[in-house]
Amino acid sequence: MGDNGTLWLPERASTMAGEVDALFYFIYWVSVIFFIGVTGTMVYFSYKYRRRSEADRPAPIRENKLVEASWIVIPTILVSLVFTWGFKTFIKLSVAPPNSYEITVRAQKWAWQFEYPNGATSNELHVPVSRPVKLRMSSVDVLHSFFVPEFRVKHDVVPNRYTTVWFEATRQDTFQVMCTEYCGTLHSSMLAYVIVQSQDEFNQWLAESLLDESATPAERGALLYQQQACNGCHSLDGTVVIGPSFQGLFGTPRTFEDGATATADANYIRESILEPSAKIVQGFAPVMPAAYSGLSEEELSALIAFIQEQQ
């Protein structure tokens, strides 16, 4: 790991990064030239025409139409050039190649979930190298935004509709997905890993991510705990992240906001997953998303078994 970028930009890890960077540097250097021109002239004139006496009254300068015209025409040409170039690259960034590998992305406060064509889900984005990948993204609650700096891609993730982003990774490495649309308390923790692998390793990972039939329910629950991003809010070691820790949770009495109590048995856990706002434990905020109603009976049992195991 580590970054081999330049002063201004992170390393390039996608096929489009080079084009975006070329455009960036072109504008950057043109800007530097203009900046030096303006400030250099300014400093020079401040010195050369500094006031010698209080009574100085220089004669007015007649306007030079050629100079006026040139600093309208030249910038217009430059911005037209830059606009056209930017627009062409933008079209390429917006339209995924036809044979892209599609992965569905679900964003929620404050975790990412990725669903693969074979049904596997994970909180990590695994992609095969040198293959265009298209992400179909949607939010379950508020606006989020998907950003991987090394790929030079970004797009907002909106509730109730799909937005897309595509990239073709060029290096096998691990990168970070960052949420770039403010979404609440843990906005800055809403990160995920993009793991670029060879096609073989990717296929292997994909197969392993499907729930293994021979695993015990608790083992499957452990996998789900990560894939469904429960680990974003519930720890296993007693620390309170956003929600209660699972350590020693099962079987203990719980007191709720309205004073009522209940024991954290299997029914309680099940209800908490399917209807998170039904009972809120005192001292916690009602922020668990109602995004898990789609879990199958098997998956629910697995999670309950897993939680039960946490001492």
Partner 1 sequence: MESATQPVGAAPQAAEAPPSGTHNYLTHERGLWSWLTTIDHKRIGILYAISLATFFLVGGVLAMLVRMELLTPGETIMGADAYNQSFTLHAVVMVFLFLIPGIPAVLGNFILPIHIGAKDVAFPRLNLASWYIFMIGATFAIGSVLVGGIDTGWTFYTPYSSQGSNAVLFMTTAVFIAGFAGIFTGINFIVTVHKMRAPGMTWNRLPLFVWAIYSTAIVQVLATPVIGITMVLLFLEKFMQIGIFDPALGGDPVLFQHFFWFYSHPAVYIMILPAMGIISELMGTFSRQKVSGYTFIALSSVAIAFLGFLVWGHHMFVAGQSPISSIIFSMLTFLIGIPTGIKVFNWVTTMYRGSVWLQTPMLYALMFLFLFTIGGLTGIMVGVLAVDVHLHDTYFIVAHFHYVMMGGTVIALIGGLHYWWPKITGKMYNERAGKIAAALVFVGFNLTFFTQFILGSRGMPRRYYDYADLLDRHPEFLGLHQASTVGSWILALGLFLILFYMLWSLFKGKQAPQNPWGALTLEWTHTTTPPSPHNFDRTPLVTRGPYDFYLADDVFGPRHTGDGAGDGAAQEGA
Residues numbered 77 to 136 that lie near partner 1 (CB under 8 A) are: 79-80, 82-83, 85-87, 89-91, 93-94
ω into residue 110 within 30 of 0, thus cis? yes
Region 160-199 residues binding partner 1, contact defined as CB under 8 A: 160-161, 163, 175-176, 178-189, 191
Least distance from partner 1 to the Cβ atom of residue 115, Å:
20
162 torsion bin: left (phi>0), alpha (psi -120 to 50), beta (else): beta
Least distance from partner 1 to the Cβ atom of residue 101, Å:
21
Total binding residues toward partner 1, as defined by CB under 8 A = 88
Neighbours of 182 (CB within 10 A): 11
> For residue 261, what is the enclosing H or E element?
strand 261-263
Residue 47 neighbours by CB under 8 Å, 6+ apart: none
Q: Are strands 125-128 and 191-197 parallel, antiparallel or unpaired?
A: parallel
216 contributes a contact to partner 1 by CB under 8 A: no
Nearest to 132, CA basis, from 106, 157, 151, 105: 151
Q: Which is nearer to partner 1, 27 or 218 (CB)?
A: 27
Region 40-59 residues binding partner 1, contact defined as CB under 8 A: 41-42, 45-46, 49-52, 54-59
Q: Which is nearer to partner 1, 28 or 251 (CB)?
A: 28
Q: Which of 126, 134, 152, 234 binds partner 1 (CB under 8 A)?
A: 152
Least distance from partner 1 to the Cβ atom of residue 79, Å:
4
Give the Cα separation of 266 and 39 in Å (integer): 71
Residue 131 CB burial class (10 angstroms; 0-12, 13-18, ≥19): middle
Nearest to 131, CA basis, from 96, 164, 163: 96
Torsion sign, CA atoms 225, 188, 293, 267? positive
Q: Which is nearer to partner 1, 148 or 304 (CB)?
A: 148
Least distance from partner 1 to the Cβ atom of residue 64, Å:
4
Least distance from partner 1 to the Cβ atom of residue 235, Å:
15
Least distance from partner 1 to the Cβ atom of residue 298, Å:
29
Nearest to 92, CA basis, from 168, 161, 196: 168
Q: Which is nearer to partner 1, 41 or 255 (CB)?
A: 41
295 contributes a contact to partner 1 by CB under 8 A: no
Can you give the C-alpha Rg of the chain in angstroms?
28
209 contributes a contact to partner 1 by CB under 8 A: no
281 contributes a contact to partner 1 by CB under 8 A: no
Nearest to 105, CA basis, from 70, 146, 77, 69: 146
Q: Which of 128, 149, 221, 244 binds partner 1 (CB under 8 A)?
A: 149
Least distance from partner 1 to the Cβ atom of residue 202, Å:
21
Q: Which is nearer to partner 1, 44 or 252 (CB)?
A: 44
Q: Which of 29, 35, 216, 240 binds partner 1 (CB under 8 A)?
A: 35
For the window 1-20, what string marks contact with partner 1 as x by the rule CB under 8 A?
xxx-x-xxxx--------xx
Neighbours of 208 (CB within 10 A): 11
62 contributes a contact to partner 1 by CB under 8 A: yes
